[in-house]
Amino acid sequence: MWWSAVTLTTVGYGDKAPVTKLGKLTALLLMFGGLLFISGLTASIASSLTVNQLTNNPDGLIEFKDRAVGTIANSGTENFLSEHFFRDIRKYTNVPTGLKDLEKGILKAFMYDEPILKYAIQRDSALHKLELLPVKFDIQFYAFGLPKTHIELEQRITQRILEIIETEEWDMVLNEYGLAEF
Name the fold adopted by 62-127: D-Maltodextrin-Binding Protein; domain 2 (3.40.190)
Report the first-to-last Cα separation within the chain, whole angstroms: 48
Q: What is the pLDDT of residues 94-149, one digit of tens each?
A: 999 999 999 999 999 999 988 889 889 988 888 888 988 777 777 777 788 889 89
Question: Residue 80 in contact with residue 91, Cβ under 8 Å?
Answer: no
Please state the domain extents for the chain. 2-55, 62-127, 141-182
Sorted by sequence, the CB contacts under 8 Å of residue 66 that are 6+ apart come out as: 87, 88
> How would you label 41-68 residue by residue, b for 16+ Cβ within 10 Å and e otherwise?
eeeeeeeeeeeeeeeeeeeebebbeeeb
Residue 43's alpha-carbon distances to 8, 47, 49, in angstroms, are 19, 6, 10
The confidence score (pLDDT) of residue 15 equals 64
pLDDT, average across residues 41-60: 64
- Element of type H or E holding 110: strand 109-110
138 φ, ψ (degrees, to nearest 5): 50, 55
